[in-house]
Amino acid sequence: MKIKKQNWTSFLITGSSVSLLTDPQELKKSGLSFAKVKADVVLFSDPNLILKERILKKEGLEKKVVPDKRKRIMEINSAGEFEIGGLMIRRDLKSNIYIIDEQNLRVVYLGMINNNFDVDLTKDLGDVDVLIVPIGNGDQFIDYDKLEKIISNIDPQILIPCGYKEKGLKIGKGMKTKEDFIKYFGFPNVSEENYLTVKPKKSEREGAPMEVIVL
């Protein structure tokens, strides 16, 4: 499985047979650069989009997000379990957490979560290889106290931060930078990569400290 950041909270996650994209409508709102991308599935985490149809068209994104291997893009914006080309995607009722599984790999995507988010929903999510979570705080996202509880509950092997203050951002007030986040939590194991290739866990990784990878 390969994970590449498009920008903001939008990531392209590519499995062995299909690819999925997260929250392109939020990237459009952010004002950050938005390159054309191919995807088979698009996940929307904004609770205001639950049960909506043809979101890409309504958001004016049909020329930015185009089909990859499928004739039509599958849009997922509500609770359910979906199996697409070897990827199992789950979103529970009353939650905007997406759990993405491919064989024994698990990615958890927390998109548009603010301080109304119930931290207890992040308990008992199983063995999580990668957690993608917004870390900007401010008026857009969850505060650091709750974020600390989320990270503790999930205990991922790898944390990928998103949704933070950066040059060119046109939304949000009081946003923190990725440097603010790393300094506050004191993470010792931080690196920057162009993309992340996630492989099945090896026994020697068990008990290893969490990595923070900035894409």
Spatial distance between the Cα atoms of 80 and 90, rounded to a whole number of angstroms: 6
DSSP letters of 127-151? --SEEEEE---TTTS--HHHHHHHH
Sequence spans of domains, the chain: 2-214
Spatial distance between the Cα atoms of 90 and 100, rounded to a whole number of angstroms: 7
pLDDT average per 10 residues of sequence, the chain (215 residues)? 97 96 97 97 94 95 95 95 95 91 95 93 94 95 96 96 96 94 94 92 66 96
Sign of the four-CA dihedral 146, 208, 213, 22:
negative
Q: Which pLDDT score is estimated for 156?
A: 96
How many CB atoms sit inside 10 A of residue 145's CB?
10
Q: Which pLDDT score is estimated for 124?
A: 92
Q: Which pLDDT score is estimated for 206?
A: 60
Cα Rg for the chain, rounded, in angstroms?
A: 16
Contact yes or no for 99/80 (Cβ under 8 A): no
Contact yes or no for 143/172 (Cβ under 8 A): no
Indicate whether this model's pTM tops 0.85.
yes
> What class is the 2-214 domain?
alpha beta
Q: CB within 8 A of 142, min separation 6: which ones?
A: 113, 114, 115, 117, 134, 150
Q: Which pLDDT score is estimated for 202?
A: 59
